[in-house]
Amino acid sequence: MQITAYLRIIFFFCISISLSSCSQYLKSSVKSSASAKQRSEQSAKFHRVAKGETLYSIAWDYGYDYRQIALWNDIDFPYLIKPNQTIRLYPSLIRGASKNTEISHSKRANSSSKLSSAEPKRVIRRAKRSTRLKRAQSSKPKVEKPSGKAKYLSHPVKYPSRIKWLWPVRGKIVHHFNSKRGKKGIDIAGRSGQRIVAAAGGRVVYSGSGLRGYGKLIIIKHNDTYLSAYANNKKILVKEQQKVKSGQHIADMGSNGANITMLHFEIRKNGKPVNPVRYLPR
């Protein structure tokens, strides 16, 4: 009987030790996962500029409007950035601008003569950029309803923006736009070296291969609201800051990572992907 009681005591003692160690392990694993999540969130708040990147390509990669990032980092037109420069990806300067505005108003009320001429100019520029950004985001162009079956046209039409869009290349759409599944554009199949043209007139704001998953990429700015992108090119024929006309030959078709010959085409409105088929001629 004494031996049985002794064995029971040893058994319960071992169970208590194992439960305690298990609890400590769970707590440590939760803490480690939380710290890893915190580190990832912290790293996503900043971006270090690599060689060849532009403000437009960074905004494109993170899904922001280029004007937002310019405002957050107090970068004025023409939005020039340098390698190794740290870019903030959250709107701290919007709050800073409002504080500077309040401070400048209080200083002007107390002693307007002591206020420097440079500070109010910076505040005014920030306020104007913020106003333009809000107007661009709130603007909703009327959407025209297409009639009949979709087909390629050689002439441009206005749909549904004020820009006259053209198909960048002739071919079959093999992957359609689906924002829920991460499909930010359309894939148009073709042959290697096939001519790719600008879908609308504008200025080249990125030309290179620095964005992961896009291969040799061209980004064209058409106005303050719309940009278009042409990815997986075999050869790029335009340079950054170059002005291009609608229908101009800008690249030759190449292939994606799976060696499928096709053009990946995107349209962004205020930094957000939209379905290109809704804008292209029908």
If asked whether residues 125 and 185 sit together in one domain, one would say no
* DSSP 8-state assignment for residue 149: -
pLDDT single digits (tens) 32-53: 444 444 444 444 689 999 988 9
Q: Total domain count for the chain?
A: 2
Model confidence at 94: pLDDT above 50: no
Dist. CA 217–CA 264, nearest whole Å: 9
The DSSP bridge partners found for residue 218 are: 207, 230
Q: Collect all residues with Cβ–Cβ distance below 8 Å to 113 and sequence separation of at least 6.
A: none
Average pLDDT, the chain: 76
If asked whether residues 97 and 206 sit together in one domain, one would say no
Query: Domain range holding 174?
Result: 157-278
Dist. CA 79–CA 53, nearest whole Å: 12
Interval 134-161 mean pLDDT? 48
CATH code at position 244: 2.70.70.10
Model confidence at 12: pLDDT above 80: no
In a domain, 143, yes or no: no
If asked whether residues 176 and 128 sit together in one domain, one would say no
If asked whether residues 206 and 98 sit together in one domain, one would say no
In a domain, 55, yes or no: no
Dist. CA 112–CA 108, nearest whole Å: 4
Give the range among 41-45, 146-150, 154-158, 268-272 with minimum mean pLDDT. 146-150
If asked whether residues 165 and 217 sit together in one domain, one would say yes
CB 238 within 8 A of CB 224: no
